[in-house]
Structure 1
Amino acid sequence: MSVIDRGIAAVLIGAVALVACGGQEPETGPGGGRGTARPDSGEPVLRWRMTGGIAGLGGPGSLPDFSLYGDGRAITGPRDGAPPPPLPVQREYRLTPAALQRLLGEARAAGLERSRTIGPDRIADAMVLEIRMGAARTRIVQPESQAGAPAVRFWKRLDPRGWSRADQAEPSRPYRSSRVAVLAGESPAAGGQRVSDWPLKRPLGRGEQAAGALCTVVTGDDRDTAVKHVATADGDHRWRSGGKVYSVRLRPLLPDERTCQDVAKT
């Protein structure tokens, strides 16, 4: 092949490549483009939470209402507006591969691969539904008034209690996290509140600032000890540590979380 022929061939190959790529849009994060969920990344492929309202749902360090991972595992938190206990109770489900792919296909059809806001923004105390698919984030303001939106219709599918038995690879079970965040804040005891000595060696005051509290992640025996004491105490219980008194809540870490900073940004 002559030099000219080789040049013509290179131009033709380049033209074919441009045509093939012409219909694709670059993937971007939550700023306004596409976000592709990577099933092999260990990150959730779908996640949603409800925030806002007069009660202030979804505060710092709160758990997402639903997380779905690329292996088909789904983890949900308390439903129906129930107040969170000292250790939130979560449940784990697992979709079959076919059901997972079908659900992700429905999410794409509902437009969840592109970041956007649906509904009137800047409404005080509005309930806001946030659905994440990979890096894309869809915010739906006052979802009860957006019932006809494809994203809201799809959101109804993300309640595992409605999944058919045939779509589940195994029965659901309680989710047990091996890592738990201890979230503490100074809170002097009022009259009638019980105060106990903190059962772990590490003082509560040595935690790092995260999720609006002093945060420490505990594992192993420390995890079990913290759960044993805090989860069985009432919400008004206080804990004495390092000469100060604290209120304490526990936050189970999800499979994609390892540190207090992960808790703060989930």
Structure 2
Amino acid sequence: MNRLRGTLMAAAVPLFLLAACAQPGATGAGSATGSGSPESAPASPRSGDDLVARVESYGGFVPPDRTVGSLPAVSVYADGRVITQGPVPAIYPGPALPNLQVVTLSPDQIQQLTQEATASGVRPGTDFGRPNVADAPTTRVTVRTDQGVQSVSVEALNEAQAKDPMLTAAQQAARARLAGFVKKLTDLSAGDATTASVAYEPTSLAVLARPYTEPAGDEPAQTPIAWTGPALPGDYLNPALKIGCVVVTGADVATVMTTARMANQLTPWTAGSGKYLITFRPLLPDEKGCPQFKGNR
């Protein structure tokens, strides 16, 4: 069985809001310790689509127009589904559609993960410190436990030096424990699951469209494709960046995805008199639509 990898591309650092039942309330990007606090959401999931655990990364030295709508490294759901980003071809430009993979864990494995989360420091009061690292991403870990939804945000979790003078021995140890838990989540193998890895088939798809800019220099020329989905660009998520968003649902999802499989990340899409660069963002089970992509860290 193939090993799932939660590798994040540099141009796709996660920047979206968790569903309302799993939004951290006291751990913003500026948190020095990364401490979390329990939410008012019930500890027990209400449906199979309820989020149990998530690892995402945000911030760092990434242009803001490249962070809108990007994907988490891993999402674990109450029915046992684990959705991660699978491997992608080492080509440029890359495929237009992300490679999302799904395996399923047993109820006992899900319970064990939530218990390990608390032991790894995903709880209020854990001090992860702030290392002497500039422009590094922040890792956010959110887990639904018996005490409610807990979340921690840790700057430069994997980038800090082993002997960083800004971190105490206790903070280094806390970081190591959390990094081990994150690695376990993002490197879940199909051998640990009750099902083999399969492609994630979304029931809805967000389409993020921005005005197309003709390539300069040595950028390869791209063949335009006619857009057949909902009218573009949709509602602007960020008027300054001119990024619009529409959601594709129902039978249109299969049609749009079939066309998208013929495209790459630099393909120009024509719609009426306009030409757009599109980011295809499959919506995960706990996600509802475009508004969640408007938030800024």
- Bucket of the pairwise TM-score, normalised by the shorter protein: 0.7 to 0.9
Partner residue of 1:242? 272
Distance of aligned partners of 1:194 and 1:79 in 2 relative to their CA distance in 1, 3 Å threshold: closer
Moved over 6 A (4+): 80-84
Aligned pair partner of 1:139 in 147, 150, 153: 153
Q: Which residue of 2 aligns with 1:148?
A: 173
- Greater radius of gyration (CA): 1
1:260 equivalenced with 2:266 (yes/no) = no
Deviation at 1:233, TM superposition (A): 1.3
2:67 match: 59
State the Cα distance separating 1:121 from its structure 2 match.
Answer: 6.4
Which of residues 30, 46, 57 in structure 1 aligns to 2:25?
30
- Percent identity for Structure 1 against Structure 2: 30
Matched position secondary structure for 1:118:
coil
Counterpart of 2:207 in structure 1 is 182
Query: Helix, strand or coil for the counterpart of 1:170?
Result: coil
Farther-moved stretch of structure 1 (234-243 vs 179-188): 234-243
**Bigger RCO (CA 8 Å, 6+ sep):** 2
Q: Which runs of 5+ in 2 are unaligned?
A: 1-22, 27-35, 163-171
Measured in 2, the distance between the counterparts of 1:78 and 1:264 equals: 26
Q: Per-residue displacement from partner, 1:70-120 (whole Å, max 9, x unpaired)?
A: 121110014699786311111111111111111111111222133767231
User: Could you tell me how far apart the structure 2 residues matched to 1:66 and 1:33 are?
Assistant: 21
- Bigger strand share: 1
Deviations 1:209-259 (A, max 9, x none): 237621111123322222122231132221121311111121000001121
1:179 deviates by: 0.7
CA RMSD between the two structures: 3.2
Counterpart of 1:209 in structure 2 is 236
- Give yes or no for contact 1:34–1:115 (8 Å, CA) kept in 2: no
The structure-2 alpha-carbon separation of the partners of 1:29 and 1:196, relative to structure 1 and needing over 3 Å to count, comes to closer
Q: What TM-score, normalized by structure 1, do the two folds share?
A: 0.75
Map of 1:95 onto structure 2: 105
| Equivalent in the alignment of 1:197 | 226
1:109-167 CA distances to partner (integer Å, 9 max, x unpaired)?
Answer: 2221337672316953113211112443211222123763222222121134446x3x4
Give the 3 Å change call, closer, same or farther, for CA 68–178 of structure 1 in structure 2: same
1:173 aligns with 2:203: no
| Contact 1:117–1:140, Cα closer than 8 Å, also in 2 | no
Q: Residue 69 of structure 1 corresponds to which residue in structure 2?
A: 77
| Separation of aligned partners in 2, 1:115 and 1:214 | 39
Which residue identity is paired with 2:69? Answer: G
Task: Give the distance between the partners of 2:94 and 2:44, measured in 1 at CA.
Answer: 31
State the match for 2:53 in structure 1: 46
Counterparts of 2:125 and 2:211, CA distance in 1: 38
Question: TM (normalized to structure 2)?
Answer: 0.68
Secondary structure class of the residue paired with 1:224: helix
Residues 116, 181 of structure 2: 8 Å contact kept = yes
Change beyond 3 A, Cα 1:169–1:264: farther
Cα displacement (A) at 1:29: 4.7
Matched-pair contact (CA < 8 Å) for 2:208–2:280: yes
Q: Which structure shows the bigger proportion of residues in helix conformation? A: 1
In structure 2, C-alpha distance between the alignment counterparts of 1:78 and 1:63, rounded to whole Å: 12
